[in-house]
Structure 1
Amino acid sequence: MDIRRARSAAELAAAEGLFDGPARPEWCERFLAASGHLMLIAYVDGVPAGMVSGVEMTHPDKGTEMCLYELSVAEAYRRRGIGRALTLALAEEAEARGCHGMWVGVDTDNEAALATYASAGAEDEGLFSMRGWPLRDDA
């Protein structure tokens, strides 16, 4: 397995099978242009097998943290440690960038994600409720 940072829209498009939907070129470019955005892709024999995206968040009284925005491993490559390796690689990158911590929101019934994050050293910080505001429909 080889984990590399995505640096081009072409790399993101080649990995779009790991996303919830198609990788739109304009969104790929915007993602890559943002200095606090990061996408790591795990390759197995040259094939995108998994990805993790992170977003740096800075607040005046909290400093900078890394939000693990999304983790995905293709079904054919699951249960091989790829999700754990991607999570650890993102944490390593966050530390190198000066982040004081990393966090992720995860559904409490997503046993695979909970196990992956626990195996990568994440600690349970308790339940929270998430609310969203759909501002426009870009689907």
Structure 2
Amino acid sequence: MSISPHFVAVIGGGPAGLMAAETLAAAGVRVDVYDAMPSVGRKFLLAGRGGLNLTHSEPPAAFRSRFGARAAQVSPWLEQFDAQALRRWAGDLGIETFIGSSGRVFPTEMKAAPLLRAWLQRLRAAGVNVHTRHVWRGWS
């Protein structure tokens, strides 16, 4: 894979920012993630205290219906990265998942920290740089 001459700065080190960084890096783009906090994924870790519900295993049409008026807008995204794809993604990080009695998908360990550690390791291996304690102040 050749390295892209493009550089992208991702603002925010939560799950959306980290996934954006991973996707861009996989496409060969140079990526740096900036977050105001001392470490990335802090809210993600807090969510993990409740078992870390990753997604829901219900049929795709039922899942899309949860998005109401935006269902048509998010459907293409969900078709590209559905619940099974998310479970494979976690598995590729070495994190096993299971479907609970509620139909929700959880990491087997019921913890966010192992998943976040593995994810950050993969991002570093892909060349993504993470900068903490950097506050976005707007365009200058």
* Smaller-chain TM-score bracket: under 0.3
TM-score by length of 1: 0.25
Higher normalized contact order (CA 8 Å, seq sep 6+, divided by chain length): 2
Which of 1 and 2 has greater Rg? 2
